[in-house]
Amino acid sequence: MNRILVTGANGQIGSELVGFLRESYGTDNVIASDISETSKTRGIYEVLDVMNYDRFLEVAKKYEVDAIIHLAALLSYKAEQNPVLAFDLNIGGLLNSLEVAKEIKAQHFSPSSIGAFGPSSPMIDTPQVTVQRPTTMYGITKVTGELLMDYYFNKFGVDTRSVRFPGLISHKTLPGGGTTDYAVACYYDALKDKKSICYLKEDTKLDMMYMPDALNAIVDLMEADSKDLIHRNAYNISSMSVTPKEFEESIQKIIPDFEMIYEIDPLRQAIADSWPEKMDIHWAQEEFNFLYFYDLDAMTQDMIDQLKKGA
């Protein structure tokens, strides 16, 4: 990658990824874009609705990008509340992104998710290749996305790459409308009120990852040798498998009177119950040397330090 266009740059991943990429690739070589009129980051920014193919192509050509990191999408909980919009945006936006990548011969990344699995997938040590019959609209768009990215690679030679992200925890931008959002909110709430309302049962185990590890994974995958990437769309990656209770206990090591209050939301509980507890990540380790540095307690310490600093 030399010049990179990031869509959905104001979102949870985008607002951290843009700065991270600019440190390595140069400020002017990372073009942030989002549907919003204003940017969350400093540097080059373009207003871009990914549903508008002509505009997408215009922006990509204007900056002569050679890589597209397509992040604009609706998350799982929001998608379940508005399934038609989720299908249109998650699939229509991805299709435009792949078409632009094909047209300008750019490398392409767009994330899949643990949501690409469903209740008939093995829940523990979920294999890289297994049954994928998700029961959410979000999951349907993620499986379709994986297949589309494979299609553009096999049919048109577009260098597509992807990972199945678990719940991501970060301290710069809150996620909006995901099932794993509680895992971010509890850190903010711990510092503000010493209590947090969790809409999942205390023993709901899900894969999670701290944002710095997620950003490294994107870059490591994009910089890997194409010939090594057998499972390019999309690799299982994760760094911990955690329940809300375990988040609570980890925060209590630093803020002893923190309390998680459980008020179960049946919709988000049903989504979480259909997702893996713990994926098998060994193909990512083998094929692009996926590494992570943060376990639960190290992440908790850093989250609390960063939030205290107001980062």
When binding is defined by CB under 6 A, the residue of 76, 126, 132, 239 that contacts ligand AKB is 76
**67-70 and 107-109 strand pairing:** parallel
114 binds ligand AKB (CB under 6 A): yes
d(CA 54, CA 6): 16
Nearer to ligand AKB among residue 32 and residue 211 (C-beta): 211
Q: Which is nearer to ligand AKB, 43 or 122 (CB)?
A: 122
Compare residues 68 and 75 and give the one whose CB is closer to ligand AKB.
Answer: 75
* Helix segments in 2-92, DSSP class H: 14-25, 53-62, 76-81, 83-87
Catalytic, out of 45, 77, 138, 235: 138
The reply to whether 45 belongs to the active site is no
Kindly state the number of chain residues that form the binding site for ligand AKB, as judged by CB under 6 A: 13
Using alpha carbons only, give the angle 233, 234, 235 rounded to the nearest 5 degrees.
135
Q: Report which residue type is found at 67.
A: A
Tokens of 261: 């209050």
179 binds ligand AKB (CB under 6 A): yes
Q: Which amino acid does the sequence have at 113?
A: S
Rule CB under 6 A: say whether 145 interacts with ligand AKB: no
- DSSP string covering 234-272, please? -EE--SEEE-HHHHHHHHHTTSTT-EEEE---HHHHHHH
167 touches ligand AKB (CB under 6 A): yes
- The distance of closest approach from Cβ of residue 232 to ligand AKB in the complex, given in angstroms and rounded to an integer, is 19
The reply on whether position 11 binds ligand AKB by CB under 6 A is no
DSSP 8-state symbol, 39: -
Stretch that binds ligand AKB, among 13-21, 28-36, 113-121, 252-260 (CB under 6 A): 113-121
CB of 284 to ligand AKB, least distance (A): 16
**Does the footprint of ligand AKB cover residue 75 (CB under 6 A)?**
yes
Amino acid present at 278: K
Q: Are strands 206-210 and 240-242 parallel, antiparallel or unpaired?
A: antiparallel
CB closer to ligand AKB out of 9 and 100: 9
Beta bridge partners of 126: 279
Interaction of residue 180 with ligand AKB, rule CB under 6 A:
yes
- Residues between 224 and 263 that touch ligand AKB (CB under 6 A): none
Q: Could you tell me the smallest distance in angstroms from the CB atom of residue 233 to ligand AKB?
A: 16
The residues, any chain, with a CB within 8 Å of residue 69's CB and separated by 6 or more, are 4, 5, 6, 7, 17, 109, 110, 218, 222
Contact window for ligand AKB (CB under 6 A) among 59-67, 91-99, 112-120, 188-196: 112-120
Would you name the residues annotated as active-site residues?
138
Contact footprint for ligand AKB (CB under 6 A): 75-76, 113-115, 138, 165-167, 175, 178-180
